[in-house]
Amino acid sequence: MLKNVKILSVFFLSAMLILPWTARFGVTVSAQHDNMALSTHQAQHRNSKHMHMKNWMLEPTGAPGVFPLDPTTIPRFKNQLIRMPTFVPVGTRREPSTGRNLPLYEVTEETVQIPLLPQGFPTTKSYAYGGKVNLAGPGEQPNIATAFSVPGPTFEAVRNQRIFVHYINNLKGPHMFPVDPTIMAANPNNAPIPTPPFKAFPPGYQQFQNPIVTVAHLHGGVTPSDSDGFPESWFSADLERTGPTFTGSTFEYFNGQLPTTLWYHDHALGMTRLNIAAGLEGTYIIRDPNDDIAPLLPQGRFEVPLFIMDRAFNTDGSIHFTQVGDNPDIHPYWDPEYFGDTILVNGKVWPNFKVERRQYRFRIVNGSNARFYNLSLSNGQSFIQIGADGSYLPAPVTRTEALFAPCERLDILVDFSNLAPGTKVVLQNTANAPFPGGDPVDPNTTGTVMQFEVLNTPAVHPRPLPATLITIPTLVETPGIGNPKLFTLNEQESATGDPVAVLIDGQHFDSDITEIPRVGTTESWYFQNLTEDAHPIHIHLVEFQLEDRQDIDTDRFKAYWESLNGSTLPLNHPTIRANVETPVDFPPTGTHRDFLTGPSEPPAPWESGWKDVFIAPPHQITRVLLRIAPQSTKESDLFPGKNAFPFDPTKGPGYVWHCHILDHEDNDMMRPMKITNDPPMASNPGAFTKRKRVAQRGGATQRGAGTQRGATVQRGGGGR
């Protein structure tokens, strides 16, 4: 059994590196409009209870004698920021296709008690990634140990150097959070789906609480599908139970993409929100030895990953997770969004970070279930964004606030060199929850992320950055392949107006596959958001590009879409797709009009690089270009049918794309995607390819008169 080793803060050595840097940044592109279109809908009135954050003080904790922990009683900035340990290989393993030995990492998922709250508070039961790590910070003597942490230890990968990661599920059930048996999820016991009236949690349904199944996904990774953590490739401890697409628990990561910050997290079907909230997430950095920008940036201990998550706690230190769903007669425990009432950075609630008077590079991951953050510094100071999800930005962007959704990443530079020693600067959050139309944050709790405390060190002014960081190729839609692909984002609600599920195209995850892009082609995907929420949409396998956004008349388009498809969700037929750009005479007035109500809004400068997730705001169409090829492939080298990946993406269980609000993804805002080599005639884009139903909820009860499948209607639209 592996041992939990306490992680020590390793940031501050007295040694200082003073470089003869000449002051001032050279060229930066100043942002015209932070938050752009996303703010224009913030005033939307939301009236369902899911549109508000829970008051955790009024929620049951699920354990006798355990009470909600009042977040205002947790001292802020008492915790000190820590750096997560770094994974080190345990050995090598032969890669059969090349015959070469690759580094092998072993990552174990273990139940541990972790100090997330400040000293004086109990530790927190967590499911943590861990294994053989280096506890030492950059530049220090290696300190190899076995450790588990939340977030997990950081991976340090080198571009084009493949690695193997062997994942070991050592989690013994029952699951610490209520596993909702009525949503489409892994069902390792193939247990029948219960019907109302439902049991309370605890104890919930033991057939679903036990065993705990997991499968890790490298988010943003360009990875073969059998190493991608397909949601149905889950497995339990000792591989006693495995999902229908399980082929093994050792994954190969190619690291062939541009240097950036990725992250890894659990992705088991219908369990992701629970497993991640329990702690199964961490940072994954890809560095490129040929990267000529990195040497210009703060490095070593001045380059700090910041992993942001939100949680609610109980008096015994445990995480306070939803015990009763918003719509408990349909889903006893599922809630449309989990929002904690405290903010953690690197696994510490509201930490303080003592910074030297110089510039820092922060690689920020939003690892929260559902919370968007609009980050700013309390002294109004600007910062420079140099990267996002999949790469550096084309040019540095000076910003005073940065909105980012669950699973997005920000690579920013903050200069503390002009601040007086002793200055305290708070990293603040002002994003409503749910975003954009939900409740405002409380400045004393959810409006606070962390604090920077400036040390008394000599000021080291940053050196200028080049005007151009990288060149991003212009992607061009491939003609004759059925572009654009049209999607709607729909919310399904019950007769009482409560959310039942959030769907793509009115379809469930296990409806037949409709997206079968061909290697070497570039598809144009349109996301027409008919809900009140902004949804961060993540597509596996590729880093892609945002094309633009445009306001749409949601009420009229939803009515038109329902005239084609009906208003009962999920649809029991292939979706009849509609395009907001197409003029139609609806409702009949004798005039054909499209559904666009505003000009095309190009991506903001900080969204102009390679992205693996983008925000689809409500009442807008968001257009993206998705090229089924690696980032570094030249457009001129591609043709339909050419596989430019260093592996065969058509093999294995395929990929998924989904909303990254985890509670949406789990129920059921996720769709499969298969990659093909075949020409369009064979793959026939848009065809409803019959897919064999797999796994989940054992047989006929699954889709029958079952709980969530009743006559429910789509929500949003009217009454605004």
CB of 254 to Cu ion, least distance (A): 29
CB of 10 to Cu ion, least distance (A): 37
Give phi and psi for 429, each to the nearest 5: -130, 135
**Number of alpha helices (DSSP H) and beta strands (DSSP E) in the chain:** 5, 35
User: Given the rule CB under 5 A, which of 43-51, 316-324, 638-646, 652-660 is the region that contacts Cu ion?
Assistant: 652-660
Closest CA to 36 of 466, 534, 497: 534
Q: Of 147 and 659, which CB lies nearer to Cu ion in the complex structure? A: 659
Contact of 355 with 454, CB cutoff 8 Å:
yes
* Residue 635: HSE in the Cβ half-sphere, 13 Å Cα cutoff: 10
Closest CA to 591 of 582, 601, 583, 599: 583
Burial of 60 (0-12, 13-18, 19+ CB in 10 A): middle
Q: Of 106 and 663, which CB lies nearer to Cu ion in the complex structure? A: 663
Binding flag, residue 481, Cu ion (CB under 5 A): no
Burial of 270 (0-12, 13-18, 19+ CB in 10 A): buried
Q: Of 183 and 659, which CB lies nearer to Cu ion in the complex structure? A: 659
SS3 559: helix
CB of 217 to Cu ion, least distance (A): 17
Q: Of 407 and 661, which CB lies nearer to Cu ion in the complex structure? A: 661
User: Given the rule CB under 5 A, which of 356-364, 478-486, 638-646, 655-663 is the region that contacts Cu ion?
Assistant: 655-663
CB of 291 to Cu ion, least distance (A): 34
Binder among 426, 659, 662, 670 for Cu ion (CB under 5 A): 659
Report the alpha-carbon distance of residue 208 to residue 190 in Å, rounded. Answer: 9
CB of 552 to Cu ion, least distance (A): 18
Tell me how far the alpha carbon of residue 502 is from its chain's centroid.
16
Q: Of 41 and 162, which CB lies nearer to Cu ion in the complex structure? A: 41
User: Given the rule CB under 5 A, which of 174-182, 286-294, 453-461, 653-661 is the region that contacts Cu ion?
Assistant: 653-661
Tokens of 8: 């020590």
Tokens of 247: 């082929």
One DSSP character per residue, 644-713 reads -SSS-TTSTT-EEEEESSHHHHHTT-EEEE--B-S-HHHH-TT--B-----SSS-GGGTTSS-GGGSSEE
Output the furthest CA–CA distance in the chain (Å, rounded): 77
Q: Of 135 and 659, which CB lies nearer to Cu ion in the complex structure? A: 659
CB of 370 to Cu ion, least distance (A): 8
User: Given the rule CB under 5 A, which of 64-72, 178-186, 433-441, 660-668 is the region that contacts Cu ion?
Assistant: 660-668
Q: Of 427 and 500, which CB lies nearer to Cu ion in the complex structure? A: 500
C-alpha dihedral (409, 413, 419, 422), degrees to nearest 10: 50
CB of 530 to Cu ion, least distance (A): 12
Binding flag, residue 558, Cu ion (CB under 5 A): no
CB of 672 to Cu ion, least distance (A): 17
Total residues contacting Cu ion by CB under 5 A comes to: 4
Query: Sheet containing 383-387: which strands, arranged edge to edge?
Result: 29-30, 392-399, 383-387, 409-415, 359-366, 303-311, 342-345, 348-349
Binding flag, residue 661, Cu ion (CB under 5 A): yes
The site string for Cu ion over 515-554 (x = CB under 5 A, - otherwise) reads --------------------x-------------------
Q: Of 171 and 661, which CB lies nearer to Cu ion in the complex structure? A: 661
CB of 535 to Cu ion, least distance (A): 3
Contact of 191 with 181, CB cutoff 8 Å:
yes
The site string for Cu ion over 607-646 (x = CB under 5 A, - otherwise) reads ----------------------------------------
Tokens of 10: 């390793």
Q: Of 217 and 535, which CB lies nearer to Cu ion in the complex structure? A: 535
Is the peptide bond preceding residue 332 cis, with omega within 30 degrees of 0?
Answer: no
The site string for Cu ion over 482-521 (x = CB under 5 A, - otherwise) reads ----------------------------------------
Q: Of 226 and 389, which CB lies nearer to Cu ion in the complex structure? A: 389
CB of 406 to Cu ion, least distance (A): 9
Q: Of 211 and 716, which CB lies nearer to Cu ion in the complex structure? A: 716
Tell me how far the alpha carbon of residue 300 is from its chain's centroid.
26
CB of 337 to Cu ion, least distance (A): 9
Binding flag, residue 664, Cu ion (CB under 5 A): yes
Q: Of 77 and 527, which CB lies nearer to Cu ion in the complex structure? A: 527
Chain residues that interact with Cu ion, rule: CB under 5 A = 535, 659, 661, 664
